[in-house]
Chain A
C-alpha cells in the first residue's frame, strides 16, 4: 500500500497539527476510564509508574505516523498491539477495546474545524485510512484474546507437568529407554505439547 493520497497542503497541516491532534486523541482515549483514573493516566509521566498511559501515548504516535505513510497491516500491527494487549484484558467489550481508533477521527475533525473548506473536503480519504486501521485493530485484538487462552492452557499444563510426565511415560526400571529420554527432552523444550 502506498502512502496516503493527500494533497501537500493537507499533509503539511496535519504534520504541523500532529501534537495537538495527538493530545486530543490521547485525552479522548483516556476519558473512557473513570475520572480518577483518567487524571492519573494523564498526569503521571514516569513510564514505569504509568505503563498504560505510556503505552497509549507512544502507541498513538506510532499509529498516526503509519496512517500518514499509508496503512500497512504488517507494520502497524505491533503498534496496535502495544495498546490493544492492555485493552484486551481490561474491562472493555471488544467494540470498546478497538473504538479508540475512531476517536482519532473526532480528534482530527475538531482540530481542523477552523480550516477552509478545501482541505476539509479531503478528509474522507483520511477517514477511510482510519477505517483500515480499525480493521487491523480487530485482528490484533482477536490475537491478544487468543494468546490469553493459550497462556491459560499452557499454565495448566506446566502446573502439573511432572505428574503428566509420570502418567504418560511408563518408566522401565533402571532409567529411561533412549527413545523415552528423547521424548522427555522434547517435552522440556516444548517441541511437543505432551
Chain B
C-alpha cells in the first residue's frame, strides 16, 4: 500500500487542512504520485527519430533537458502559431467568461483548479502573451503574462498530460475555443524536448515498426484470431474461415489491436467475425496494417500522419476498394478531421458502397473509410440480418458515447439503432452526460497507463456516477460503447466505482443476437454465460 497510515496525533480534530489561498500563477506545481505517467524511454523515441531522446524520470528534479530548451519551445510555438490559425485564434480570443471552467471531467473529479479548461489553456496563454504580444511583454503579470521557466515547463507537462483532448469544454464555449487543440500543441512542444510519456511513446514505436501498438508479429495476430474461431465454433457449431492479407478483396478491415488481445474487446472481435461471415462479405484482415488506433496523434500531427498513412499504403498494396474500421474512438477523430488534410483524398480507392444494401457512404467520399457502426446500422435498417434480441435478455444495457465518435464525428444514432435492435433492455443515462455532452472515460489520449490510476479514476468519476444512477434506477449491468480504449478503461472504472456493471462493445451484443445460417442451438453467450432460460444445461 502506497499510502502511509496517519499517526493518532495527526488526527487531532483541530488540524487545518485548508489549502493556501494563492493565485494560480503563484501556486507552484507539485507533481503528485498517481497523477502522471512515466517518461518516454530513449529507445522508443529514437525508433521514430523524435528529438532529444533520452531516458528521464518526471520524479527526478533534473529532467536532463537540452541546454537551449527555452529556445526550442519558443521557436516551436512561433512555428505552430504561424502554421495553425486555430492555435493563434485560441491564444487570442478567450474572454475568460468561465463557461468552460466546470465542464472538464478532470476538474469535476479532482477539484484541482488547474484542470479547469480555461486555466489549462491559460498555462500556455500566459507564455504566449509574454513572448508574442506587446502588452504582455511590457506589462507582464498585470496582462496575465509570465516567463517560461523550468517550473512552467513542468506545469505544462503535468497538466497537458491530464487532459484527454475530449473536447467537452469546447461544447460550452461561446467562441468555440477547443482546449483539446491547445493541449495538442502543448504536447507537441513537450515532445520537441523528448518529454513524452512512455505509455504513448512505446505504442508509437511499436506501431511504426510492426504495425500495431503491442508490436505483435503476423503469426501472433493470425493465431489469436484462430482462437476466436475455435470459440465461435464451440458456441455456434460453425467454422469461420477469414482471410489475411488477401489481394483483390473488396474491403480491408482494420480494428484496434486491443480487440484481438484484451478482454472484453476480444468478444467484440468475435462479433465482427460472425457478422462478416454471415453476410458473406468479401473482406480481408491485414497483419501489417493491424492497428486502427493511432497513438501518434497524442504526440504530434506529423507522427499521426505517418502512422495513418500505413493503413492506406496497405489498402493500395492489397488493391481493395474501400476500408471498414472497427469499433474505435480516436481512430475516427483522426480519420474524419485530419486524414484528408494529411494523406487524402484516397483517390486510388472507391467511394464505399455496401455490397449488401447498396447504400453509398457519401460521408466517407474522400477518406474511403466507414465506421463499422455505420455499416452495421445500415444492414440492420434494411432488415438483412436475422436477430434474436432475447439472447441478450440477461443484460440491461446503457450506452456510453465515446468523445471522439460523438463530439468528433457525430456518430450518435447508429450505435443506438444497433443496440436497440439486438437488445430488449436499454436505458439511456441522463441527458447532460450523453451524446455531445458525454463525459470522457477519463483515460483517453494515451493516458490509460497503470501508474496514473488515481488520475484516471478521478477523471472517470463523472461518467461512472451517471452509470451508477442507471444501475440503481434500472438495474443496468452492461455498459456498451464503440471504442477499444473505453472497453479497457471503463472496465477498470466500473470495477472501482460501480461494481457489478460490465463493459461490452456493440458488436459483441450483435454477435450474441445474430442467428446464423446452420448454427446449432446456443446455450451460452460469447462470455460462456448461460443464456436466459438455458441455465444449468450448458
Contact = CB atoms under 8 A, between A and B. Distances in A.
B458 A175 contact: no
A159 B17 CA distance: 39
A158 B488 contact: yes
B462 A181 contact: no
Nearest to B461: A51
A48 B465 CA distance: 7
A99 interface: yes
B453 interface: yes
Contact of A162 (B112, B260, B492): B260
Q: Is the interface of A mostly helix, strand, loop or mixed?
A: helix
B457 interface: yes
Contacts of B97: none
B359 interface: no
Contact of A36 (B113, B454, B497, B528): B113
Given A85-B497, A94-B5, A189-B527, A33 B19 contact: yes
Contact of B230 (A37, A99, A175, A185): A175
Given A48-B432, A148-B457, A149-B1, A181 B491 contact: no
Contacts of B21: 35
B222 to A, nearest CB: 12
B112 A91 contact: yes
A151 B496 contact: yes
Given A36-B116, A93-B4, A49 B109 contact: no
Nearest to B226: A171
B266 A155 contact: no
- Which bucket holds chain A's interface residue count? 35 or more
Contacts of B262: 158-162
A50 B453 CA distance: 21
A105 B12 CA distance: 12
Q: Which of B5, B233, B466 has the most CB of A within 10 A?
A: B5
A146 B227 CA distance: 34
A54 B21 CA distance: 24
Interface in A128-142: 134, 142
Contacts of A158: 262-264, 488, 491
B528 A32 contact: no
A102 B113 CA distance: 26
A46 B437 CA distance: 14
Contacts, number: 159
B6 A48 contact: no
B496 A148 contact: yes
Contact of A181 (B32, B101, B112, B234): B234
Contacts of A17: none
A15 interface: no
A147 interface: yes
A53 B1 CA distance: 28
A159 B261 CA distance: 7
A162 B34 CA distance: 28
A107 B256 CA distance: 53
A165 interface: yes
B93 interface: no
Contact of B102 (A44, A147, A151, A156): A44
B528 A151 contact: no
B527 A49 contact: no
Contacts of B433: 48
Contact of A34 (B112, B224, B461, B462): B112
A181 B528 CA distance: 11
A147 B454 CA distance: 12
B529 interface: yes
Contact of A52 (B111, B264, B466, B529): B111
Nearest to A146: B1
Given A36-B116, A159-B262, A46 B432 contact: yes
Given A48-B469, A52-B108, A189-B529, 8 more contacts: A34-B111, A46-B432, A90-B458, A96-B17, A148-B453, A160-B262, A161-B263, A162-B261
Top 5 nearest A-B pairs by Cβ distance?
A95-B6, A51-B465, A37-B111, A102-B13, A89-B457
Interface of B: 1, 3-6, 10-11, 13, 15, 17-19, 21, 32, 34-35, 101-102, 107-113, 116, 214, 220, 223-224, 227, 230, 233-234, 258, 260-264, 266, 430, 432-433, 450, 453-454, 457-458, 461-462, 465-466, 469, 488, 491-492, 495-497, 527-529
